[in-house]
Structure 1
Amino acid sequence: MKTLTLLRHAKSGWDDPVARDFDRPLNPKGQRAAAMVGRHMKSLGLAFERVVASPAVRVVETLDHVGQGYGGDLAPAWDQRIYLASTATLLDVVHGLPEGADHVLLVGHNPGLEELVLLLVPDGGALRDEVEIKFPTATLAEMTFDIAGWEEVKAGSATLVRFVRPRDLDPSLGPDTP
C-alpha cells in the first residue's frame, strides 16, 4: 500500500513586482493558510518518508509555513520538473519515487496537481467531484494505492481518501475574503 499526498502551494502575491513567475512569493493570506494546513496535517498524524517539491519561491515559502504549523521541517527534495509540470511529468516523478517511501508528499502547482488527481482517481464519488470543481491553493489531496511499487501507479488506480481546502479549516481563508 502506498499513500500519495498532494499539496498545492498557498496563495501567492500577484502585486509583488517580480521579474519571473518562478519568484512570486506568498501573500499574507497564503502564509496563514499554509500554517493552518500544517497544523491540520499534524492533527491528522500525517507523516512522510519523502517530500518532493517544486523549487519555485511560492512552494518554498508554503513549505516553510506548513512546517511552522506542523512543528517541524519537512525536509523536501527540490525537483525542478515539478514547476508548472504537466500530468505526464508529475506521473514520471511519481513513478521514480523510492520504493522504501510508502507515504509521500508532492508539493507543486495547478493545473498539473488537479489533473493528476482526476487521472488517478476513477470517476464518481463526492471528493473527486470536489476536485473537479476546483483545487484551490494550499489544498491537500490524499490518495492511496493498493500497489507494491510506485511504478505501478496508473490511471484509475487511486482511492481519494482526503481532500481538504483551507476554507474547510477556517472560513476566513475562503475565496471571498482578503
Structure 2
Amino acid sequence: MVADMPGSPRTLVVMRHAKAEQAGPTDFERELAERGRQDGAAAGGWLAARGILPDVALVSAATRARQTFTSVAQGAQWTLEPTLDRGLYAADPDTALDLVRSLGDDVSTVVVIGHNPTMAYLATILDDGEGDAAVGMTGAFPTSAVAVFTYDGTWGDLAGGGARVTAYHVGRA
C-alpha cells in the first residue's frame, strides 16, 4: 500500500520475535523453537485477516527475528523481502523509533520485528492512550506479541504518544 499523501493514515506494526531456543552458538544466533515457527505463522495469519500488507519490514538481523519474519510472512502470504538491521538487535526504543522516522512518505505500512524490552517499550511510548486495544497490551509483551498502530502524519514526525493502538494480539498456534 502506498500512502496517497504525506499526512494520510499510516499503519505501524510492532512485534516481538517468536519463541526461541534457549541456547545457540551466540545469543545473536539463537534459532526459533518449533513453537516459535508455529506462533509466528499464526501471528501472520492474524495480520492477514486484518488486511495488513506492509510496504516495508524492518527486522533485527538476529537469527530468531529473521526466522520470525519468515514465519509471519508465510502465515500472512506476504512476498516482501525484509530490511535487516543489526542495530535492532540491541537497539533502545529511541533508536528503533528513529528507524521508523527515517522511512519515506511513500510508505504507508511498516512492520518492525525486534527484541524485548525494546519492542515493549516502543509500543508503550507510541501509545496515545486512546485506543481500546491498548488495554490488552498492558503488562507483558510476550514472544509473538503484535501491536498495530495507526498514525496520521509523516513518519519523520512520529513522536511518543503519537499513535493509536488499534489491535493487539499474541500469536499462538
Report the TM-score, using the length of structure 2 for normalisation.
Answer: 0.88
Distance 1:157 1:67 in 2: 27
Cα distance in 1, alignment partners of residues 17 and 104 from structure 2: 23
Range that drifts further, 118-127 or 100-109: 118-127
Contact 2:129 2:164 in 1 (8 A): no
What is the Cα-based RMSD across aligned positions, in Å?
Answer: 1.6
Point out the structure with the larger helix share: 1
Please give the per-residue CA displacement for 1:52-108, whole angstroms capped at 9, x wherever unaligned. 110100011111111221223331011112113111111111111121101111111
Contact kept, 8 Å, 1:114 with 1:132, in 2: the verdict is: no
| 1:13 to 2:27 alignment | no
How far does the alpha carbon of each residue in 1:96-147 deviate from its partner, in whole angstroms, 9 at most, with x for none? 1121101111111111111111111134655324323111111211111121
What SS does the corresponding residue of 1:151 show, helix, strand or coil?
helix
Partner residue of 1:44 out of 50, 62, 71: 50
Tell me which amino acid in the other structure corresponds to 1:13.
E
Quote the Cα distance in structure 1 between the aligned partners of 2:128 and 2:170.
21
Partner of 1:93: 99
Q: Name the stretch that deviates more: 125-134 or 114-123.
A: 125-134
**1:65-144 mapped onto 2 (5 Å cutoff):** 65-123=71-129, 126-144=132-150
Name the % identity.
Answer: 30
**Superposed structure 1 runs of 4+ greater than 6 Å apart:** none
Q: Match of 2:35? A: 29
Unmatched 5+ stretches in structure 2 = 1-8
Output the amino acid matched with 2:28. Answer: F
Letter matched to residue 14 of structure 2? L
Conserved? CA contact 2:20–2:36, under 8 Å = yes
Letter of the 1:6 counterpart: V
Q: What residue number does 1:176 align with?
A: none
> Quick one: structure 1 residues 124 and 145, their matched pair in 2 at CA, closer, same or farther if it must change by over 3 Å?
closer
Counterpart CA distance in 2 for 1:111 and 1:77 is 21
Q: Secondary structure at the match of 2:138?
A: helix
TM-score (ref. length: structure 1): 0.86
2:11 aligns with: 3
| Secondary structure of residue in 2 paired with 1:40 | helix
Q: Which amino acid is the alignment partner of residue 167 of structure 2?
A: R
Aligned length: 165
